[in-house]
Structure 1
């Protein structure tokens, strides 16, 4: 009776527990393994309709907690009225929460018509499958899937080079489902033993694999013949409110140059210097501020990788020009030797989808321009390093880092400007997701952020150095260059779509079976 009358209490509890478990929230990661239990208990005790509504409510609250920083982006920097910014967040959270509505409805059928020994395997599979769809549909929004919550526990996440972060998410949801089923359904001794054996097998085999992989790769990285490059990161800490002001361009470049000279004076010889996304707040190469950058690279015989806007004239007669969010490589002779145009643009941040029908959202992109997407081609070459570049939001999408590795990248570089997010949880989330990109591909990941968090992440996912937020930094490290293609890069990326196919098939069987049984009972 209590669960029917106060059906929102348990879903709300799950949303709060998830927030407390994530980085930038409570960071109490063990809560991940029990956070969904209240929601799953409510689903098991509710009608299918109520299960769906409870799950939708859970999803709405969860994403409001998770993505509250969108109001900062749209309101403070996007030029929208705060009311419109909050409304946009609500609509986005409602859309993302709809995936949990689907999960809740199907989970209600699965728990009603399948024994616990089947449901405990099917539900996490369905969850991961829906996560995957959410990450690709309508450009995708895979922000902070559950597996990312244990990003610091590198002893647990080495399996990501087999199944990606989705594999870690699956194990977390499996544990929650197991506990919920044990709490809500009486089990025979045989089934209880099966549950325990399944749990021990999954986590035991994962622990053994992670231990073996860590030991093996640590040995490989300690060998003298392993190649590396020395990389310096500069975190300029440029306030977003003045970043695009023409009167501040000289101060911005002078700040980056001062930090770079200080780093080069303190450190041994560097191969590459990395500045963040749009560190150059103007369109090179004809701008006069390019000259001191060229002088820097030639004086110290280094390459400079920096973010900047770029444009190409497509048709002079028609005055058609395309603009890009780019990463530019200046070599040691001061010449532009390579560039990459951001592939996965941020909706309502770098372009407006359906702009003709949503003209009131145009102010959101005025600060940075309405960009055109590029494509992944060849990595940028710096001595032995072949860098695959991820600009800002692109580090959220595992498929992009996979494509870079297949194109020949032996290191990943993430240029980002997280100043948009203010003093929120978002920069912590970005770092957590970047760790998994390193483990999935076994590529060192260099992260240069305007206001932080900048970091060096090794192929084991260990953060070897990280900066503080909103402080200027300059630091350097040896970056290991690993060439092996992981199982995930070759085949493991198929795990999530396979989960969707299996999960939906199993759930549809439960739906059809359930309706057939109801029809038979009514006859």
Structure 2
């Protein structure tokens, strides 16, 4: 390791590779891999703070470059699916798709560079590396918040690696995912402090104590709390429509598809998988009573279907499904009004009347709209699938059968501070409709699922997740996948869920913890810069 301190960029690359291990790669995450989140940053921290690197004349530049290398390499590995999405479904040539992935990684890698630079500035100012390491968790939580607010890409923040850890996720209802990220970075800092300690005794004591603490906290991945109570069931349709194929559904084809959707909505006892729909998961047929009550909800996902909110055929189909099931219906559709088109979810009451629609607020850049159209005028030609939707304005909740439903669409599930507002507005259960077919059989559907699971934990709400081709599932308020439909099948899932009324601290207050980390980070950097100026002044005076 000491030899590598002469090459902190290489240590940054090692950290980037290690950081990919505690996240889903091509399927559900094995529980044992989550432990890498406690050590992934250790090589980077060690390289930045070592005495050998500190003495280098270009210390700050080398440190920032090491952090940048870590960030770029991690984003390339973690978000490799961008290549498939752009190339296979966006019709972008291979070199162009690779260039988009690299550009994406180079832009977001700047956050890692900033983290490393802040650590290096503090190392220059403070004599002890331990003081700097104490700042690391605050810096990291603040930078994750900045990534969420500035570039709006909080994809796979560090804390998501512990979504299956019952002990650590107890922080989420208070701090959001940021508190988990903070704790993980603190563990990395303690391990780095052990390596940087000059005394063998201190090194052993700190290292052994930290490892024992990590093992204790990581044991939460094997804790199994009792199941959450349920009071209703939903029918979630999974049509498994081809992505990128225009479904005109004209004439007899519309009638045929509409009849299939109606019949599928009436199947209230279907084969399912207990937990994640992994390769080896067994599909079982539950024993259902003959006299099932009306479902609490029927849902149709965001999908490439030909549904438009103003189409009389669509209105008639929603009315027929609602009245046949005696249940409210949520359906993904293109919302239309005089202002333009929206990516929407239409809500139909049990009596067949359409109450209204939720228009997606947080659109996917270069997928559902082109930002800064004057600058990126070429994007429409690069990706033939780029939409041109308007942005919604209200986080509406819908009431039916005495219960309140909050709906968010696809990409919106990764924005914790936005999803919580549905709970504040009265939603007793969340419904997340999505089309993850754009990701193909990559890691992205599993990463996306884990982020939705964290929203359930933060707000202590059930989430009914209805997707075009999987993972269609019910997530309980502890973030556990209860039952799910097999992926890539045209089927439906009849799954139980419950309603929750209380508000967690995070639901009420949002990113207060991360904001405090940001304030503390600014204060720490201001103090470090002041010390640095004082040191320079003393040198000049002598």
TM-score norm. by structure 1 comes to: 0.88
Deviation at 1:258, TM superposition (A): 4.0
Q: Distance in 2 between matches of 1:416 and 1:364?
A: 24
Matching of residue 11 in structure 1 with residue 12 in structure 2: yes
Structure 1 residues 196 and 488, CA gap change in structure 2 (3 angstroms): farther
Cα deviation, residue 9, structure 1: 2.6
Contact map agreement 2:20 2:78 (CA 8 A) in 1: yes
* Unmatched 5+ stretches in structure 2: 54-58, 271-287
Change (3 A) 1:146 1:252: farther
Q: Which residue of 2 aligns with 1:308?
A: 333
Which residue is 1:99 aligned to?
Answer: 111
Unaligned segments of structure 1, at least 5 residues: 314-320
Q: 1:107–1:507: 8 Å Cα contact kept in structure 2? A: no
8 Å CA contact 1:412–1:444 kept in 2: the answer is yes
Q: Of 153, 160, 163, which aligns to 1:141?
A: 153
Asked if the contact 1:398–1:437 (Cα under 8 Å) also holds between the matched residues in 2, the reply is: yes
Once the two structures are superposed, the pairs formed by residues 283-362 of structure 1 within 5 Å of their partners are 283-313=308-338, 321-362=339-380
The CA RMSD over aligned residues, in Å, is 3.0
Contact 1:106 1:511 in 2 (8 A): no
Alignment partner for residue 172 of structure 1, among 173, 176, 184?
184
- 1:68 pairs with 2:92: no
Within the candidate set 232, 241, 244, 2:244 is matched to 241
1:167-191 Cα distance to aligned partner (Å, 9 max, x none):
0011011100110121013269799
- Cα separation, 1, equivalents of 2:179 and 2:469: 32
Is 1:147–1:168's contact at 8 Å kept on the other side of the alignment? yes
Alpha-carbon separation, structure 2, partners of 1:241 and 1:420 = 8
Structure 2 Cα separation of the partners of residues 24 and 202 of structure 1: 23
1:364 and 1:304 map into 2 onto residues whose CA distance is 36
Question: Which among 74, 77, 80 is matched to residue 92 of structure 2?
Answer: 80
Q: Distance in 1 between matches of 2:318 and 2:330?
A: 11
CA spacing shift, 1:468–1:299, aligned 2, 3 Å: closer
Aligned partners of 1:519 and 1:200: how far apart in 2? 44
Q: Does 1:520 align with 2:538?
A: yes
Q: Give the C-alpha shift of residue 88 in structure 1.
A: 1.8
| CA apart distance, 1:271 | 2.0
CA positional deviation for 1:135: 0.7
Separation of aligned partners in 2, 1:377 and 1:295? 27
CA separation of 1:273 and 1:125: change in aligned 2, threshold 3 A: same
The one of 45, 48, 71 aligned to 1:59? 71
Structure 1 residue 291 displacement after superposition: 2.9
Distance 1:32 1:202, change over 3 A: closer
Check 1:195–1:387 CA distance in 2 against 1; reply closer, same or farther (3 A cut): farther
1:211-233 CA-to-partner distances (Å, cap 9, x unmatched) read 9xx97xx69x55xxxx8332121
Q: Match of 1:40?
A: 45
The question of whether the paired residues in 1 share the 8 Å contact of 2:9 and 2:67 is answered with no
Change (3 A) 1:462 1:339: same
1:263 aligns to what SS in structure 2? Answer: coil
State how far apart, in whole Å, the 2-side matches of 1:420 and 1:54 are.
33
Q: Is the Cα–Cα contact under 8 Å of residues 439 and 445 in structure 2 kept in the other structure? A: yes
Q: Of 506, 510, 513, which aligns to 2:528?
A: 510
CA distance in 2, matches of 1:289, 1:116: 64
Hey, what's the Cα distance between the residues in 2 that align with 1:244 and 1:420? 16
Residue from 168, 173, 188 that aligns with 1:161? 173
Distance 2:208 2:125 in 1: 22
How far apart are the structure 2 equivalents of 1:76 and 1:128?
Answer: 35
> Which of 286, 293, 298 is the matching residue for 1:273?
298
Deviation at 1:15, TM superposition (A): 1.3
Shift of the alpha carbon at 1:498?
Answer: 1.4
For 2:282, the equivalent position in structure 1 comes to none
Moved more, 168-177 or 287-296: 287-296
Deviations 1:117-163 (A, max 9, x none): 4333311110110110001113x000000110111223431210011
Match of 1:132 in 2: 145
What CA distance in whole angstroms lies between the structure 2 residues aligned with 1:200 and 1:98?
Answer: 33
> Does 186-195 or 238-247 show the bigger shift?
186-195
Q: Aligned to 1:288, what secondary structure does the other structure show? A: helix
Superposed displacement of residue 280, structure 1:
4.0
Q: Distance in 2 between matches of 1:246 and 1:79?
A: 23
Cα distance in 2, alignment partners of residues 24 and 465 from structure 1? 22
CA–CA separation in structure 2 for the residues paired with 1:418 and 1:488: 27
Q: Is the 8 A contact 1:278 1:309 kept in 2?
A: no
Q: Are 2:490 and 1:472 equivalent residues in the alignment?
A: yes
- Aligned partners of 2:249 and 2:384: how far apart in 1? 15
CA 1:69/1:253 → structure 2, altered by over 3 Å: closer, same or farther? Answer: farther
Matched residues in 1 for 2:191 and 2:202: separation? Answer: 16
State the match for 1:455 in structure 2: 473
1:307-332 CA-to-partner distances (Å, cap 9, x unmatched) read 1111111xxxxxxx411000011222
Change (3 A) 1:356 1:287: farther
- Residue 402 of structure 1 aligns to a residue whose secondary structure is helix
1:164 shift after superposition: 0.6
> 2:395 touches 2:421 (CA, 8 Å); kept in 1?
no
Q: Deviations over 1:438-473 (max 9, x none)?
A: 111111111001111111111111211123432233
User: Shift of residue 410 of structure 1?
Assistant: 1.1
Equivalenced residue count is 505
Superposed counterparts of 1:182-197, under 5 Å: 182-186=194-198
Q: Could you tell me whether the CA contact under 8 Å between 1:350 and 1:365 is conserved in 2?
A: no
> 1: distance between equivalents of 2:16 and 2:532?
29
